[in-house]
Amino acid sequence: MKIVVLKFGGTSVGNIDRIKKVAKIIASYKRKKLNVIVVSSAMSGTTNDLIRKTEELSNNFDSAEYDVLLSSGEQAACALIAGRLKHLGLKARSWMSWQLPIITEGPYSASRISKINKTKILTFMKTGGIPIITGFQGINLDSRITTLGRGGTDASAIMLAKFFNADACDIYTDVDGVYTTDPRNHSKAKKISKISYDEMLEMASLGAKVMQPTSVQDAKLNNINFSVKSSFEKKRGTLITGTKKIFSNQIITGITSTKNDAKVTIVGVKDKPGVAAAVFKPLSLNQINVDMVVQNISLNGKETDLTFTIKSEDLKKTEKIIKKNKRISFRKFSYDNNVSKVSIVGVGMITTPGITYRMFQALASKKINIMVISTSEIKISVLISNKQIKKAVAALHKEFKLD
């Protein structure tokens, strides 16, 4: 039984005309005699509207009920897709995650899929049926609905591909693949035909919004190749894979940028063992993700300035936590929320000297000041003024011959 998993994002099912187009795409796979499993997001805007309702009702809306509410958007989308397929003469039905069930573990709004019961879906497909399964959700061991975080339908698709041992997994979205940088911000961006898990994971984590980072991680851990395609245009997409033989001599694969970073500096922290842990532990407990970190020791060795980046929406909460922290003493708390992170990503930099110099020189030539630097084996990130983001991306895109 040859199985293909098809995932459709919120923009792909954003209105009735788009749902009709999605149904045609699904039917085209069925005409090729393939067994199709469809997983859908909610219609674009639905989840945000539901979140706004919770905020109007409470500033501390119950987490379990929050997941129940947010999961309802996918239910509506799946019913509409199944209804359209039936109109076209195909056998289809919607399946809620709890009807299989899809078992999750972890906290509400950030669960991970641990098991999928395949029996009902396999039986239905053997009769020629097309199951349309709600993405972004599952149930925990208490039989409560849980969600997988924003963009979690990607994770649903990857894990369905894993548990059903699918021959292919196609992620349909509003772009026709993964680009060297965001084509909406740089006209010379070009589509990447194939990219490694590691590169895609770095790009997704650093601001490329094509895929949810945890989904790419799941794909890598389970060795699941998948493609990103457009539901609006019939074009070849981008293959995300672990196969080593596919890669060219391109040193840098892509450039990413973010728009919602803030730089925090704690000045004059008493330097002693455990001070960094004392700063970052309460942030971690409050689900605040810390990214770039720089520590500067004073000349007398008694004080340190600690600089790190967070998401802008976490700034007020971070300031409150730091100022209430009795375990640290410092002279000043300052921040800058007019910053952006620009990153270059590529497995080629592991074996190529001079990449750091070329990046910094390209930025310097455009008079772009670097505030913070962070590196890994396959990426270099810098923090700059958000007014210079487009200029920086253009300079780096040209420097590494991606235009």
Inter-helix orientation angle 72-87/63-70, to 10°? 20
Residue 271: what pLDDT? 80
Over the stretch 265-289, which tens digit does the pLDDT of each residue have? Answer: 999 988 888 888 999 999 999 989 9
Residue at 234: amino acid letter: K
Query: In the Cβ-directed half-sphere of 140, how many Cα atoms lie within 13 Å?
Result: 17
Q: What's the pLDDT band for 202 if we cut at 50, 70, 90?
A: confident
Amino acid at 364: A
Q: Which residue has the tokens 């293909």?
A: 4
Average pLDDT for the chain = 93
Q: What is the DSSP string of 279-290?
A: HHHHHHHTTPPP
Domain boundaries, the chain: 3-174
124 versus 327: the higher-pLDDT residue is 124
Burial class (CB in 10 A: 0-12, 13-18, 19+), 31: exposed
Which one-letter amino acid corresponds to residue 202?
E
Going from the C-alpha of 388 to that of each of 106, 168, 184, 249, 394, the distances in angstroms are 39, 40, 16, 29, 10
Angle, in degrees to the nearest 10, between helices 213-221 and 152-163: 20
The verdict on domain 3-174 having CATH code 3.40.47.10 is: no
Other beta carbons within 10 angstroms of residue 99's beta carbon come to 14
Q: What is the pLDDT of residue 393?
A: 95
Percent of the chain exceeding pLDDT 90 equals 78
Whether 168 and 5 have beta carbons less than 8 Å apart is answered as yes
pLDDT digits (tens, 9 = 90+) for 19-42: 999 999 999 999 999 999 999 999
Using pLDDT thresholds of 50, 70 and 90, give the confidence band for residue 352: confident
Q: Which two tokens stand for residue 163?
A: 């548990």
Please report the pLDDT score of residue 232 as a whole number.
92
Peptide bond into 101 cis (omega under 30): yes
Q: What confidence score (pLDDT) does residue 244 get?
A: 59
Handedness of CA 116, 118, 121, 122 (dihedral sign): positive
State residue 299's pLDDT score: 67
Q: Regarding predicted confidence, which is higher, 5 or 205?
A: 5
Residue with the bigger pLDDT between 324 and 210: it is 324
CA atoms of 1 and 164, how far apart (whole Å): 10
* Calpha distance 74→246 (Å, rounded): 36
Distances (CA, A) of 398 to 242, 347, 403: 27, 18, 6
Residue 402 is encoded by which pair of tokens? 């991606």
100-111 residue pLDDT tens: 999 999 999 999
What pLDDT digit, counting tens, does each position of 226-258 carry? 999 999 988 889 999 986 555 556 789 999 998
- What does pTM read for this prediction? 0.85
Report the pLDDT value the prediction gives residue 205, as an integer from 0 to 100.
77
The C-alpha atoms of residue 8 and residue 135 are separated, in whole angstroms, by: 9
